[in-house]
């Protein structure tokens, strides 16, 4: 059991897992949440989302070009 914790490969896998959760998975979940709830959020929900955006900003900036928070208008143009 001790050799597992001293193994550099296990340490590397752990770091890659933590970084991928921080930079990929949680920001994608936040973007999905914001895209679906942007126009109907209450003030406390918006405050919590802003706090999470501040916390996960490095991952969110990677996906920022793909986020569209504009209102969905009718198809007539």
The pLDDT tens digits of the residues spanning 15-74 come to 999 999 999 999 999 988 988 888 899 999 999 999 999 999 999 998 888 776 676 666
Determine how many CB atoms are found less than 10 A away from the CB of residue 38. 15
Does the reported pTM lie above 0.75? no
- The predicted pLDDT at position 1 comes to 57
Torsion of CA 28, 31, 37, 41, to 10 degrees: 110
- The predicted pLDDT at position 75 comes to 60
The rounded distance, in Å, linking the Cα atoms of 69 and 2 is 49
Domain ranges of the chain: 2-65
């Amino acid at each position: 059991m001790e050799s597992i914790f001293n193994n550099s490969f296990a340490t590397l896998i752990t770091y890659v897992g933590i970084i991928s959760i921080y930079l990929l998975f949680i920001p994608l979940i936040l973007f999905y949440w914001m895209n679906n709830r942007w126009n109907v959020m209450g003030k406390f929900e918006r405050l919590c989302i802003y706090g999470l955006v501040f916390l996960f900003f490095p991952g969110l900036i990677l996906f920022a070009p793909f986020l569209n928070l504009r209102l969905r208008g009718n198809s007539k143009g």
